[in-house]
């Protein structure tokens, strides 16, 4: 019998724990042809999420709990889920039921047809706040421009089903600056996509604010492409050409008798300001990459595990 790992990270999800298990139990009942492991990473919750998980362990011998020593963030939690999962098929999802667990049944059908990756794509962005929708759209546009041959799909978050071989390949990627939604398409393999309507969070609050989304966007861009570094070269060439042409134009105007000094000064001033700001932006972009090189060379562990309670699949 094949095994399925249902994996979710939890950070301060005390209100979601009972609902999550209730929903997962309903799905497991319908999966008679799989042995199921439930793997939860407790990402340093400050509330009693861990105690509630231990409570669930009494009725769920197949529950495997990995508890971090502090909050390491969603991406680190997903990395741990992939490392600790043992199933032949691995499903990664959020624990707030925004990734509806009943979808797993249809995702498994696609896996059984031979797909190694089954993505769940959300199709109801329209209900999101305007700013979130625009920034998300921009994010996927920029990423797809930058990632070249790798197709990072639109509106696919972390909800996915992966075959064991894909999970192993992702686990073998050594980068610290990892972004799950970029790693999956990087690895490749036969991929199917299922659409779903993403419901609002049932209980509790989102942990993502604009700052953390900005960080995710930065990590995704720097981990998928070095193209932004090349843009500074192009910008330099363009600016150099413009300044050379304008110099020639002003010189000719001066030679044919126009007094162009005042225009020349105005143009010079705006040109200097423009160039300076571009130089600072370019420096910032380079800094983003340098910062990430530091993180890679430090080579610190992505997370520390304080407590692990194994499930019956480990025995």
Binding footprint of ligand UDP on the chain (CB under 6 A): 8-11, 13, 43, 71, 73-74, 77, 94-96, 98, 201, 206-208
Instruction: Choose the contact partner of 208 out of ligand UDP, Mg ion, none; CB within 5 to 8 A by kind.
Output: ligand UDP
Nearer to Mg ion, 44 or 311 (CB): 44
Q: How far is the CB of 223 from Mg ion (least distance, A)?
A: 22
Q: What angle do CA 35, 41, 43 make, to 5 degrees?
A: 170
Number of residues that bind Mg ion (CB under 5 A): 3
Instruction: Choose the contact partner of 164 out of ligand UDP, Mg ion, none; CB within 5 to 8 A by kind.
Output: none
Nearer to ligand UDP, 41 or 107 (CB): 41
Per CB under 5 A, the list member of 96, 99, 116, 219 interacting with Mg ion is 96
C-beta of residue 56 within 8 angstroms of C-beta of residue 17: yes
Q: How far is the CB of 110 from ligand UDP (least distance, A)?
A: 23
Nearer to ligand UDP, 210 or 258 (CB): 210
Nearer to ligand UDP, 42 or 147 (CB): 42
Q: How far is the CB of 204 from ligand UDP (least distance, A)?
A: 8
Written as one string, the DSSP assignment of the chain is: -EEEEEEEEESS-TTTHHHHHHHHHHHHHT-TTEEEEEEEEE---SSSHHHHHHHHHTT-TTEEEEEESS---HHHHHHHHHHH---SEEEE--TTSSS-TTHHHHHHHHHHTT-SEEEEEE--GGGS-HHHHHHHHHHHHHHHHHSTTS---TTEEEEEEEEHHHHHHHHT---SS--HHHHHHHH--SEEEEEEPPPPPSSS-----HHHHHHHHHHHHHHH--HHHHHHHHHHHHHHHHHHHHHHHHHHHHHTT---HHHHHHHHHHHHHHHHHHHHHHHHHHHHHHHHHHHHHHT--S--EEEEE--GGG-
- Taking Cα atoms as reference points, which of 101, 97, 40, 88 lies closest to residue 67? 40
275 binds Mg ion (CB under 5 A): no
What gap in Å lies between CA 40 and CA 83, rounded to an integer?
12
Nearer to ligand UDP, 164 or 203 (CB): 203
Instruction: Choose the contact partner of 95 out of ligand UDP, Mg ion, none; CB within 5 to 8 A by kind.
Output: ligand UDP
Binding span for Mg ion by CB under 5 A among 58-66, 96-104, 175-183, 295-303: 96-104
Instruction: Choose the contact partner of 20 out of Mg ion, ligand UDP, none; CB within 5 to 8 A by kind.
Output: none
Nearer to Mg ion, 37 or 96 (CB): 96
Nearer to Mg ion, 157 or 185 (CB): 157
Instruction: Choose the contact partner of 14 out of Mg ion, ligand UDP, none; CB within 5 to 8 A by kind.
Output: none
98 binds Mg ion (CB under 5 A): yes
Instruction: Choose the contact partner of 193 out of ligand UDP, Mg ion, none; CB within 5 to 8 A by kind.
Output: none
Nearer to ligand UDP, 73 or 185 (CB): 73
What gap in Å lies between CA 14 and CA 240, rounded to an integer?
58
Q: How far is the CB of 136 from Mg ion (least distance, A)?
A: 14
13 binds Mg ion (CB under 5 A): no
What gap in Å lies between CA 120 and CA 155, rounded to an integer?
9
* Residues contributing to the site for Mg ion (CB under 5 A): 94, 96, 98
């Amino acid at each position: 019998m094949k095994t399925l790992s249902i994996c979710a990270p939890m950070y301060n999800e005390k209100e979601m724990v009972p609902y999550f298990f209730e929903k997962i139990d309903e799905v497991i009942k319908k999966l008679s042809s799989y042995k199921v492991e439930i793997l939860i990473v407790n990402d340093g919750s400050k509330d009693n999420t861990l105690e509630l998980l231990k409570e669930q362990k009494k009725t769920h011998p197949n529950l495997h709990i990995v508890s971090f020593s502090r909050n390491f963030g969603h991406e680190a939690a997903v990395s741990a889920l992939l490392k600790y999962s043992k199933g032949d098929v691995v499903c990664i999802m959020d624990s707030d039921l925004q990734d509806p667990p009943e979808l797993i049944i249809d995702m498994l059908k696609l896996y059984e047809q031979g797909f190694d990756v089954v993505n769940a794509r959300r199709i109801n962005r329209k209900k999101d706040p305007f700013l979130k929708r625009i920034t998300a759209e921009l994010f996927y546009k920029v990423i797809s421009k930058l990632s070249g041959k790798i197709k990072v799909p639109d509106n696919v978050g972390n909800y996915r089903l992966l075959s064991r071989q894909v999970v192993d390949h992702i686990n073998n990627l050594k980068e610290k600056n990892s972004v799950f939604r970029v790693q999956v398409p990087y690895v490749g393999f036969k991929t199917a996509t299922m659409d779903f309507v993403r419901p609002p969070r049932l209980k509790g609050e989102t942990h993502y604010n604009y700052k953390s989304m900005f960080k995710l966007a930065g990590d995704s861009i720097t981990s998928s492409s070095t193209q932004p570094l090349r843009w500074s070269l192009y910008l330099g060439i363009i600016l150099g050409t413009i300044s050379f042409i304008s110099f020639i134009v002003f010189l000719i105007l001066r030679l044919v008798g126009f007094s162009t000094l005042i225009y020349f000064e105005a143009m010079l001033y705006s040109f200097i300001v423009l160039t300076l700001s571009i130089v600072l932006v370019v420096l910032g972009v380079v800094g983003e990459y340098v910062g990430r090189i530091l993180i890679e060379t430090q080579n610190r562990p992505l997370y520390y595990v304080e407590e692990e309670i194994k499930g019956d699949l480990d025995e």
